[in-house]
Every structure is written in C-alpha cells, then in structure tokens.
Amino acid sequence: MNLVDVVKKIKEKLPVELVADQDNVGLIVGDYDDDCGTMIVAYELNGGVVDEAVNSASNLIVTYHTPLFRAVKSLTSSKSNPDPLLKAAQSRINVFAVHTALDVPSYGLNFDLASRLGLTGVRTLSALSGTLYKIVVFVPADHLDKVRDAMSRSGAGRIGNYTECSFAAEGEGSFLPGEGSSPFIGRPGKPERTSESRLEMVVEKSFAGKVIEAMLNAHPYEEVAYDIYALVNSSVNYGFGAVGELDEPLEVRRFLDRVKKVLGISSLRLSHIPESKVRKVALCAGSGMPFYRDAVREGADIFLTGDVKHHDFREARSGRTILADATHRATEKFAAELLHKILRETFEDRIVVSLSKHEYDSAVIY
Ligand SMILES: [Zn+2]
C-alpha cells in the first residue's frame, strides 16, 4: 500500500488534522513514494524500536508520542548519543505520530482507561472548541435524500451518539443561467425560480473536505450554492480527558487499589486521602493538569493524571476533588496497545500491523 494511502487511512480513523494546530502529529519523517507492507506500533520512538523495524524489514513506525515536539535546529548523532529519528531516516523508515489524535476521540486513550477502571456513562471532560463547521447547501427536493446520505456517509451530522443528524426547510431558489452554462433546471438566458431545500448539517473540521467532495458529487447542479460556517459551539465528539461514574461508591483506598492494579504500579502520589467514598471519577492520561479545573467543575471525587507538581498538590488539598498522580507513563500504559488495535482494524489484512516488543520507561526507579 502506498504511503500516501496509508497516511490518508490513519487520518480518516484518527482526527490528526483536528489537533495539528496544537500538536506536532502526522508524518514526521517519510517519503510519500514508498510502499508499505508492514508497520510497527510503539509508545514512542527510540533506538530499540528502529532496530526492530530494520530487523523485521518494516518501513513504517507509528508512535503515540511524537518524536519532534519542539522546534529542532539540527539532527546529529554519534555512537555514544544516537538519534533515533536520524537513524530512522537513514534506514529509510517512515515515522508517523498520532499523540493527541489518540487522546481526543471517544474511542481513544482516556475513554479506554475509564472503561478499564470500571467507569460507566463516560463523557469528555474538556470538549475541543473551534473544530465544528455547519455546512448549508441548497438542493432540489428530488435530490435531497441523495445529497444528505452522501454527506452523512462522509462524516457529517454526527452529534454524540447520534448520526445522520440534519435539518431541511423548503424554499425557493432563483438563478439566471449564463451563456455557455448547462443548467440542470431551466435554460441559458432565462431567469429561473424553483423549489429547493436548505439542507444543514454539522461536521467536524477534519471531515469537512471529504463531506464537501461527497456533497458536490451527489448534487445535480453545475454550480452548487453552499455555505460553510465556523461554529463557536464546543465539539460533542472530541475532547481531552474523560469523566464517568462507578456503579457503586467505593472507599477511596479501595478505588486507589484498583487504579494501582489496572496500571501495574505500586504507589500513587495524592493530594489527600479523605475518609469518604469515590463515585465520580475524572481522568486525563499523560500530563492532564490543564484539565484539573474541569474535573473540579464536574464535581469529580478524584482526578487521576500524571506530571503533578508540588504546588498543584498543595492547592488541591483544601478541595473536595482528590488529585492523584499515577505518573505520565503509567496513565499512558495502554496507548500502544490501543493504537495497535485501532490500526489493525483500520488496515485489516492490507498491512501487517505489529506491536513493538521494545518496552520503554521514561525514568529508572531505584
Ligand atoms: Zn504522554
């Protein structure tokens, strides 16, 4: 499969373009003319993963963490300090990173962790904003269903658990076909009035191009009249973190035991351990402190994340939401496994998708 098509398919499944403004995701190193028969999925890029790709003749690595986050001015390497990205490029291995594109969907990392912890009624903790468009198109009545179906199939009209959402109102369209035109209704030089429907559907930015292409293909007019509005509504489909409830309230210590067991860790850092029960749980894998206020606003009994600082704990101690740090790495423990599952389903038998055997820990524990 050509790398162009591989990248396209990953972007169709994971909203890479939706998060691209704030995160360095997508094809980090690559040659679009390459063909890919196998790919390796890994938590992040390091020498071991690149060696694994070389030894298994795989020319694509898909990582969760991006290997380039900040601006890079040079890429250098030596025996004592090898650079995995340079090594990948020298070995003609393409590298694609997904990072927050795996965090924000309801089938992503945070909802997966919430489900492993036994939460139900899970929803997004902090919805993305500035990602929704409204597409309005004027369609002759007998083509309304065809256009609406084509737009739905391409990703328009998805609102939470509802799909194919649209609104249509009857009205009158008017136009004057010019010289050289070939109108679907009427003829050149004759003013025309005809009944049309105003069809409205919401679409996430990442699907807009595909939806407009499908809408134009299904529409019978030579020149299609349509508008695209940027909405200020928050997304209902994508966001950071997750919040949900336990079926039964659990004593704080029992819930913390469950967290340790699921994440395979022996300790947690906490703001405080009140003698109360936990029912509502908010979480954000990785560095989730930017969403702590959202957890408090939600009235969560506990907020689970990583990378919590000393002063964050001090501040949280006086509140009712327990702040819990299970470490950045442990909260992202299932990232590669989930990415592997999603990509295996996406590519079925067209590409062999294997999970890296190279475990990586960000810090050594003594
Ligand atoms: Zn991370």
Q: Is the pLDDT of residue 71 over 90?
A: no
The CATH homologous superfamily to which domain 109-127+238-326 belongs is: NIF3 (NGG1p interacting factor 3)-like (3.40.1390.30)
The CA angle 130-131-134, to the nearest 5 degrees, is 100
In three-state secondary structure terms, 11 is helix
Q: How far is the CA of 157 from the centre of ligand 1 (A)?
A: 31
Q: How far is the CA of 198 from the centre of ligand 1 (A)?
A: 44
Q: How far is the CA of 287 from the centre of ligand 1 (A)?
A: 6
Q: pTM for the full model? A: 0.85
Same CATH topology for 3-99+334-355 and 109-127+238-326: the answer is yes
Q: How far is the CA of 332 from the centre of ligand 1 (A)?
A: 6
Q: How far is the CA of 84 from the centre of ligand 1 (A)?
A: 18
Q: How far is the CA of 227 from the centre of ligand 1 (A)?
A: 38
Q: pLDDT-based confidence at 361, cuts 50/70/90?
A: low
Q: pLDDT-based confidence at 364, cuts 50/70/90?
A: confident
Q: What is the chain's mean pLDDT, rounded? A: 94
- CATH class belonging to 3-99+334-355: alpha beta
Helix axes 335-347 and 109-116, enclosed angle (nearest 10): 120
Q: How far is the CA of 331 from the centre of ligand 1 (A)?
A: 8
Q: How far is the CA of 363 from the centre of ligand 1 (A)?
A: 13
Q: Domain ranges in the chain?
A: 3-99+334-355, 109-127+238-326, 131-231
Q: Is the pLDDT of residue 147 over 70?
A: yes
| For residues 222-249, average pLDDT | 94
Q: Provide the pLDDT for residue 362.
A: 67
131-231 CATH fold: Alpha-Beta Plaits (3.30.70)
Tokens representing 335 are 């990232």
In three-state secondary structure terms, 104 is coil
Q: How far is the CA of 286 from the centre of ligand 1 (A)?
A: 4
Q: Provide the pLDDT for residue 70.
A: 80
| For residues 244-261, average pLDDT | 97
Q: How far is the CA of 188 from the centre of ligand 1 (A)?
A: 60
Strand partners of residue 139: 197
